[in-house]
Every structure is written in structure tokens, then in C-alpha cells.
């Protein structure tokens, strides 16, 4: 009964001082809203695991907080890798059941969808093993596979995110074989990713994914970003690389194997330069927990 009397007394007090009552309510609302927003950000960027198959088996061979393109040659612990380094690690390692590489930034630009007026889209270039390693099966059509890794420009395909498919195409199954013109690339839609799947990059979800081998058309540059020029010591470093641990393999075991393989790769790549500058051989890779994906926002908000 005393609680009911307290409520009545409080209500009478609020009616006598409506200005105070409104200020109190607004202050509480602002505080609750701000705390909810902060928690949502922390939960999304810092705490949540990727919504993919067995995310605890994933490791990142690059710095999960880094992004951008670097041209030169590495020193010390590497934060991003070249496509040539990724392919060598993928083919030589003994500890991963699968690996993929992804452009470490989402591209933004104008695209023509089925010949319509240009509109702003977000896309990301990824290697053929991307969806398989993450365990993401298409809800419609198919996704890229290792068979789509080939010569530059040989896989003019696009896989749409579920959200973009719903928003832009109203979830129509007729979206398959739709055409997307982006930069110099003429892409054909071959599939739609499952709901909630945004890839490996937290807070930077693309509208669609494109095979890495389409880089010369999607992102034309005066440098070959897919194959290192053997006559140049400066490399184009621009990829995040993920691996899925084989059953029974721990991260320390994987680290030991990657150390050996990467040391061999560096020795081969910089054989000429190492004779005049031995420090170039002091390059390494550190394996990070990949369950939470990568995010350039994570270091900023941590």
C-alpha cells in the first residue's frame, strides 16, 4: 500500500511542477537512448561473432583493423598482403581447410543496373573461395567458387546481398542474369547471398560481391594488382586474408606453419634485394582471431 501512496504522491508533485516533470522524462529518455546506442555499437563492432558457419574456426592473416592500399615492400609484421602472396599461402599451407582474400575496403561508385540511370552502389572484390570458406550458401542462384578464379577479367559475375536484392529488386527471382555496369566491367548477376550475411567486414556491408579477378575492369589502375611484377621490388598490398583451421589444428600450430611458408615466399620474392638489404627478409604474418571479422571502425571505437 505504501508503494501506491508513493506513486500518488509523486504524480501530484509532477502535476504541480510540469516543467520539472518534462525535463526529468526527457533526461531519462536521452540517457536510455544514448546508452542503448552505445551498447548496440559495442555489441556490433566489438563483441559479436560473424553470422557465418563456425566463426571460431576462422583466423585473419592480416591486421583486422587496417584498410587501404599500400605500394612498396613490407617490413616487420605485415598488415595487408598482395594477391600473389595470398595465392602462395593458399597453395602451400598445411593447416587451413580453405582460404580467401578480400579487398580491404568496400568500393563505392555509380553503376547502371539493366541499363537504367546510374545509382550509387557499394561492392567488394573477393576470391573464389570466399563464400565456401565462410559457409554461406546462396538463397537464389549460385555463388563464386574456386573454379571462378582464373585469368583477369574471366569471371564477370556479381552476387547480390539479400538486403540489396530486397530493396532494389523487391526480392524477385527474375534478378538472375540481370546486368550491372560498373566502371569498365559488365557484370551478370548469378546469385543472392543468404539473409543476415554481410561478409567478413563489420559495419561496411556491400550491395554485391565481384570476383577478385575482375579488378582490372572494376578498379582500373596503372599497376597490376593481381600479379607482382618480377622486375619490381615494390608490391601492391591491398588484401585481407582469412583461413579456416583444419579440424584439430590450433592457432599456434597454424602460426608455426604460416611462419615457415611466408618466410619462403619472402625469400623468393626479394632474392635480389636481400643481397643488398637483408632487412627486407624480416617480414612476418601474425594470425588473429577471425571470429569477429575485420573492421576499420574497431580500432577507432575500441
Q: Tens of pLDDT along 110-159? A: 999 999 999 999 999 999 999 999 999 999 999 999 999 988 999 999 99
Q: How far is CA 91 from CA 123, 129, 247, 259, in A?
A: 27, 12, 18, 15
Question: Is 275 part of a structural domain of the chain?
Answer: yes
Q: How far is CA 71 from CA 19, 76, 82, 169, 210, in A?
A: 61, 15, 10, 39, 23
Instruction: Check residue 277 and give its pLDDT.
Output: 84
Whether residues 13 and 72 share a domain: the answer is no
Question: Is 301 part of a structural domain of the chain?
Answer: no
Whether residues 178 and 204 share a domain: the answer is yes
Whether residues 201 and 274 share a domain: the answer is yes
SS3 69: coil
Whether residues 30 and 70 share a domain: the answer is no
Question: Is 94 part of a structural domain of the chain?
Answer: yes
Whether residues 71 and 167 share a domain: the answer is yes
Question: Is 297 part of a structural domain of the chain?
Answer: no
pLDDT (mean) for 247-252: 98
Whether residues 26 and 122 share a domain: the answer is no
CB 144 within 8 A of CB 124: no
Whether residues 70 and 32 share a domain: the answer is no
Domain ranges, residue 40: 2-47
Return phi, psi of residue 110, to 5°. -90, 140
**How many separate domains does the chain show?**
2
Instruction: Check residue 34 and give its pLDDT.
Output: 38
* DSSP-derived secondary structure letter, 241: E
Among 73, 69, 83, 70, CA closest to 274: 73
Whether residues 77 and 158 share a domain: the answer is yes
CB 75 within 8 A of CB 282: yes
Q: How far is CA 132 from CA 68, 91, 109, 158, 199, in A?
A: 25, 16, 27, 16, 12
Among 262, 69, 90, 105, CA closest to 199: 105
Whether residues 202 and 172 share a domain: the answer is yes
* pLDDT of residue 41 exceeding 70: no
Region of poorest pLDDT, from 10-14, 97-101, 144-148: 10-14
Question: Is 299 part of a structural domain of the chain?
Answer: no
Within 13 Å of residue 40, how many CA atoms lie on the same side as its CB? 7
pLDDT digits (tens, 9 = 90+) for 185-207: 999 999 999 999 999 999 999 99
Q: Ramachandran region of residue 170, left (φ > 0), alpha (ψ -120 to 50) or beta?
A: left
Within 13 Å of residue 99, how many CA atoms lie on the same side as its CB? 24
Question: Is 178 part of a structural domain of the chain?
Answer: yes
Whether residues 115 and 219 share a domain: the answer is yes
- List, in sequence order, every beta strand (DSSP E) within 36-130: 58-60, 70-72, 76-77, 96-103, 107-113, 119-126
Q: How far is CA 170 from CA 114, 165, 228, in A?
A: 15, 6, 42
Question: Is 152 part of a structural domain of the chain?
Answer: yes
Whether residues 100 and 132 share a domain: the answer is yes
Whether residues 242 and 182 share a domain: the answer is yes
| Rounded-to-integer distance, Cα 282 and Cα 292, Å | 29
Give buried/exposed letters for 83-106 (b at 16+ CB in 10 A, else e): bbbbbbbbeebebbebbbbbbbbb
Question: Is 298 part of a structural domain of the chain?
Answer: no
Amino acid at each position: 500500500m505504501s508503494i501506491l501512496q508513493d506513486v500518488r504522491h509523486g504524480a501530484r508533485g509532477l502535476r504541480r511542477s510540469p516543467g520539472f516533470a518534462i525535463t526529468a522524462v526527457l533526461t531519462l529518455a536521452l540517457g536510455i537512448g544514448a546508452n542503448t546506442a552505445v551498447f548496440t555499437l559495442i555489441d556490433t563492432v566489438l563483441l559479436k561473432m560473424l553470422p557465418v558457419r563456425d566463426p571460431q574456426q576462422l583466423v585473419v592473416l592480416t591486421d583486422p583493423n587496417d584498410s587501404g592500399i599500400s605500394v612498396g615492400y613490407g617490413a616487420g609484421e605485415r598488415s595487408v598482403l598482395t594477391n600473389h602472396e595470398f595465392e602462395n599461402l593458399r597453395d602451400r599451407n598445411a593447416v587451413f581447410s580453405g582460404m580467401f582474400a578480400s579487398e580491404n575496403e568496400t568500393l563505392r561508385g555509380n553503376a547502371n543496373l539493366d541499363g537504367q540511370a546510374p545509382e550509387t552502389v557499394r561492392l567488394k572484390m573477393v576470391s573464389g573461395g570466399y563464400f565456401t570458406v565462410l559457409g554461406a550458401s546462396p538463397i537464389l542462384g549460385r555463388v563464386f567458387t574456386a573454379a571462378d578464379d582464373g585469368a583477369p577479367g574471366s569471371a564477370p559475375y556479381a552476387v547480390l546481398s539479400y538486403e540489396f536484392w530486397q530493396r532494389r529488386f523487391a526480392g524477385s527471382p527474375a534478378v538472375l542474369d540481370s546486368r550491372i555496369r560498373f566502371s569498365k566491367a559488365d557484370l551478370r548477376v548469378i546469385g543472392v547471398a543468404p539473409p543476415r550475411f554481410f561478409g567478413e567486414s563489420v559495419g561496411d556491408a556491400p550491395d554485391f560481391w565481384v570476383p577478385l579477378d575482375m579488378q582490372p575492369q572494376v578498379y582500373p589502375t596503372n599497376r597490376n594488382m593481381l600479379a607482382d611484377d618480377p622486375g619490381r621490388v615494390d608490391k601492391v598490398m591491398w588484401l585481407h586474408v582469412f583461413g579456416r583451421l583444419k579440424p584439430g589444428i590450433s592457432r599456434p600450430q597454424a602460426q608455426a606453419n604460416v611462419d615457415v611458408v611466408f618466410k619462403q615466399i619472402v625469400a623468393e620474392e626479394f632474392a635480389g634485394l636481400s643481397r643488398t638489404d637483408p632487412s627486407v627478409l624480416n617480414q612476418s604474418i601474425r594470425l588473429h582471431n577471425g571470429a569477429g571479422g575485420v573492421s576499420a571502425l574497431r580500432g577507432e571505437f575500441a
